[in-house]
Structure 1
């Protein structure tokens, strides 16, 4: 018995012990072994959040997401638990933030105005609009507009990684790289969403595309991106906010069109 306890076990054996035999110790081990996922995800989400948001609270919500992932994961499907757990952890943290009403209504309203402004002007001019044009549209100065972008940064940080639909792990970003077959209706919607997001990214400025690429594809933090691009973290935050608000406008427009077709 002691020899068995001291023998190294791979994750497959832990999953079998937990899922097939209800071994609570195996479950605890799986949770403990994957705690770095919580640290990684909560650390990324903490960037740019208001100071009143406790990192400990983010981590606590993340741990609840990890526990949920361990309980619901089907290890027999051959999927990567790390990816699945990351989605669950991220979702639990975001749910906790939403329930805590961490974004003031005034900030939400500013984000909506900017998003609608980009949507209206780019549809009118059929091109990427400048900060000067947006400032004029919003009837604010360039400095005030940039301050608005800084304020809404906390809302836009995770927008591409939010689930497309409730109770699903697929995100807006994932449709760019996930070609798994679904039912025909799903595939049609996925195609239009992918096309809309791709076109939206193409309309971004070069710097905005670089920020999106480094953040969501290369997994760099905003501070690391600032070093790579030789810009200040606040400027990177502004570029990210503009990019996400533009993309959200494109996706919302596509969603409305799809709903009209139903």
Structure 2
């Protein structure tokens, strides 16, 4: 039988670290993938308050990178860059949350808007307007837009956040590709993708464009503003609304999946 080597960059270094326990190999891997920390932290820094330093983001990110190097299974032939990016992102967001960088009042506003989208869109079975959300929240449309601007920095979601507060299972556990998926996992994964696809279709045209350019084309919010000929603050609002709509859909999915 031919022993095929997984298609993975720096395979020999991975083998030295994972099989031989070489600390030098581990350090080499960390140094090799350090640019990932700068890339991920740079994207997350967009729109964050000025009191959040890039040095803090980098420190959190390095911890995520180290964790990724320690936990990655190099023999499965997966792309380490993708896995590490998620781990780095999760570590940065978790580090920020532990530092309580978002005021409680802002989090409460985000929760109220998310619940408003969830209830109204479930009631009307369509995309609701800013006017309808404002009426539901009993605020003016200008006040609603200001709320969106305030909560723009809270629309980041950590995959290391527990699905339910009292349990340790995280969103990451839904994404990790185990060696063999059981039928229930496959059905749930398919349903989640279908749910997200339908949710994205219900976004407004501008919201879909922002989501596509930010998450798939990997443009910054300022770059998206140039593409769409809108102000960065307007792009930030569109991004916030899109994330709140999608969170509402995922909240319903979570209840259906985990409360049965």
Shift of 1:163: 4.9
Shift of 1:37: 0.2
- In the alignment, structure 1 segments of 5+ residues that lack a partner are 1-9
Alignment of 1:221-240 (within 5 A): 221-240=220-239
Shift of 1:167: 5.2
| Cα distance in 2, alignment partners of residues 88 and 211 from structure 1 | 24
* Cα 1:25–1:234 shift into 2, 3 Å: same
**How many correspondences in the alignment?**
245
The answer to whether the 8 A contact 2:159-2:170 is kept is no
Shift of 1:16: 2.1
CA distances 1:68-93 after superposition (whole Å, capped 9, x unpaired): 11122221111111111111111111
Residue 52 (structure 2) aligns with: 53
* Cα 1:170–1:236 shift into 2, 3 Å: farther
Q: CA RMSD in A?
A: 2.1
Residue 162 (structure 1) aligns with: 159
- In the alignment, structure 2 segments of 5+ residues that lack a partner are 1-8, 164-168
| Cα distance in 2, alignment partners of residues 154 and 235 from structure 1 | 14
Shift of 1:260: 3.8
The answer to whether the 8 A contact 1:226-1:233 is kept is yes
Say which is worse superposed, 182-191 or 225-234, in terms of deviation: 182-191
The answer to whether the aligner puts 1:218 opposite 2:225 as a matched pair is no
Shift of 1:54: 1.5
Higher helix content, 1 or 2: 1
The answer to whether the aligner puts 1:95 opposite 2:94 as a matched pair is yes
The answer to whether the 8 A contact 1:214-1:225 is kept is yes
Q: TM-score, normalised by structure 2?
A: 0.87
The answer to whether the aligner puts 1:22 opposite 2:14 as a matched pair is no
